[in-house]
A and B are shown apart, each in its own frame.
Chain A
Amino acid sequence: MAEPAPDVLQRSDDQKPPIKSGKKRWRPQWSAGVALIPAMTITIVCFYGFIIWTFVISLTRSRLLPVYKFTGFDQYVRLFANERWWTAMQNLAIHGFLFIGGCVVFGYLLAILIDRGVKAEGMFRTLFMLPLSMSFIVTGVIWQWVMNPGLGLQEAVRALGWASFEFNWIVRPDRSIYTLAIAGIWQQVGLCMALFLAGLRNIDPNIWKASRVDGIPVWRVYLHIITPMMRTVFFTVFILMSAIVMKAFDLVVALTGGGPGFSSDLPARFVVDHILNRQELGLGAAGAFVLLCTVIAVISPYIYFELKKERSGRGH
């Protein structure tokens, strides 16, 4: 793992005249160590230490404030018996499937369209990625207005002559979860497009030459040759989008507020709500820990992959 330190670092010290007295020399390596202290403290204390702390709280009966009276896994038992938690978890699955699927499909299609060699490529790319610069709150508020059943899209389409048009998902408990995916895809599709486009640009142009010689239709080249070659890009996109889905908090708050009722609630919102508003610290901490385990389950192959790539020399 440890690459051999460049010998120059040691040698340059030797080149200088040795200091006579018993005073120890200040080496640059020590400066480097000192410079790492703030980031190391943050990593150890604020990341890993606080995760352990949250886990400890989840084993107690804390409500408004942390109380260190341990009750074993009672909070987890309560959590798994909690109907709102299961709604949130189920919503996470639905939203995750639709959001990741939508981002991958539309992002890949847009990347292919741009990759066909269009004029004004830069303009299209800039437009597709524009929503990325806006916050989830802004996205949520915009879409809440567009999907407003009284004055938004539903009314506008009806005014165009399609009188029976219905699009009131945002106020329907059985449909509100789908509105999250619409707004989420709108915001993140540009990122997927950019990642896929970078992957397509890395494809060896000789593959295109060869397939043209063989007379293979363009769509078949994409489907049977290019797509399998892009599997690492698909993997990366999948991981990035899952990370976004599992942290999704702002978008629900701004778009549906988790409602109607708790019909579009997500685990991240459940956790924040129980910790900040409901004086159910222990239950919230248990939810947070379960959320963390879900993240780890999805992310660990990616981390493993990244570190392995790192070890076997940089680059692809």
Chain B
Amino acid sequence: MRYNRWALYGLLCLAAIMIMAPVFIMISTSLKSMDEIRNGSIFTLPADPSFAAWSKAWLGDCTQTLGKKCGGLSSSFMTSVQIVIPALFLSVGLGAVTGYSLAVWKMKGANVMFAALLVGMFIPPQVTLYPLIIMIRELGIFGSIPGLILVHVIWGVAFTTMMFRNFFKTVPQDLLKAARIDGAGFWALFWHVMLPLSLPILGVAMILQFTYIWNDFLLGLTFGGRSGQPMTVALNNLVGSQFGEKEYNVDMAATMLTALPTLAVYLLSGRLFVRGIAAGAVKG
């Protein structure tokens, strides 16, 4: 029995080490100099940790530019923030209202509409990509931040609606009755009763939408153009660029910078993230 416990903890620790190793290697590489990377091993700790690569990844290298910007990730970080914040609130807000409307005001066809929306979550974004490009271009917002916000709302609404609709379905009918007898209309019921009730699910939806939008690559690549390039796209360009010598420490620092916001949200939110991630896994 005792040996079994040791084996159990041994296996769990082994798994934890294997999962954490790449993260550890990323951080440790980002703190090394290129000389140390060339002569050492990825397992060793940095002998003389320095944030030089981090500042280079963030600000870029202004000595080698050809009349362009310095090429750091700071500008695309700002772009990502400008995309994520409005897209987050719009998609969660629209999902809350739609989910409320579908769950509480059972109209004709509400179930059909919900099924259509549910199926929509599984559609690979590649299938509707080109028509979406035409639509965004016709609206005159292609290659800009508003265009990307709209695209993220379109792709996020199925998921947020599903979360809220399934939650609102569990609200007891008596509560709704009481509110209706007090004269609450559509919006009053939403603002004063349903939305306050849904705070936990609101948290889950916000956390996951933040993670999805921040981590998106395909939409940013397609709709961002030059001026609306989010951080994931900039990271991929930085790592993929073939100019000069490869600087793995800068690559890893840039990767860490891109991962930090969602990592922080994950570590701070704890259980809320876990609650929603299963429901959202199907999303594109």
Contact = CB atoms under 8 A, between A and B. Distances in A.
Interface of A: 1-3, 5-6, 8-9, 12, 15, 28-29, 31-33, 35-36, 38-40, 42-44, 46-51, 53-54, 57, 66, 110, 113-114, 116, 118, 124-138, 141-146, 148, 151-153, 155-156, 159-160, 186, 189-191, 194-195, 198, 239-240, 243-244, 246-247, 249-250, 253-254, 257, 268, 271-272, 275-276, 281, 284-285, 288-289, 291-292, 295, 299, 303, 306-307, 310, 314
B255 interface: yes
Contacts, number: 284
Most A CB within 10 A of own CB, among B37, B131, B263: B131
A133 B266 contact: yes
Nearest to B240: A257
B123 to A, nearest CB: 6
Given A2-B108, A314-B170, A138 B25 contact: no
A47 B277 contact: no
B126 A291 contact: yes
Contact of B248 (A29, A151, A306): A151
Contacts of B248: 145, 148, 151
Contacts of B97: 35
Given A146-B22, A151-B38, A191-B281, A291 B255 contact: no
Contacts of B277: 129, 132, 191, 194
A137 B252 CA distance: 12
A272 B266 contact: no
A136 B217 contact: yes
B176 interface: yes
B199 interface: no
B242 to A, nearest CB: 12
Nearest to B151: A46
Given A32-B105, A156-B42, A303 B19 contact: no
Most A CB within 10 A of own CB, among B127, B132, B135, B274: B127
B189 to A, nearest CB: 8
10 contacts: A8-B177, A39-B117, A47-B128, A66-B130, A116-B8, A133-B273, A145-B252, A194-B274, A243-B281, A246-B124
Nearest to B261: A133
Nearest to A218: B4
Interface stretch (B47-55, B70-78, B139-147, B180-188): B180-188
B101 interface: yes
Give chain B's interface secondary structure class.
helix
Contacts of A191: 277-278, 281
Nearest to A121: B12
B25 A142 contact: yes
B26 interface: yes
A260 B244 CA distance: 21
Q: Which 7 pairs, one residue from A and one from B, show the smallest C-beta to C-beta distance?
A: A135-B215, A133-B266, A31-B186, A32-B105, A50-B128, A50-B131, A156-B41
Give chain A's interface secondary structure class.
helix
B177 A6 contact: yes
Contacts of B106: 2-3, 5-6
- Name the interface size band of chain B: 35 or more
A243 B9 contact: no
Contact of B127 (A153, A250, A288): A288
Interface in B179-208: 180-181, 183, 185-187, 189
A128 B262 contact: no
A36 B102 contact: yes
A119 to B, nearest CB: 9
Contact of A39 (B29, B157, B259, B266): B157
B26 A145 contact: yes
A47 B125 CA distance: 9
A139 to B, nearest CB: 8
A124 B274 CA distance: 13
A161 to B, nearest CB: 12
B66 interface: no
A199 to B, nearest CB: 11
A118 B8 contact: yes
A44 B116 CA distance: 9
Nearest to B134: A66
A186 B123 contact: no
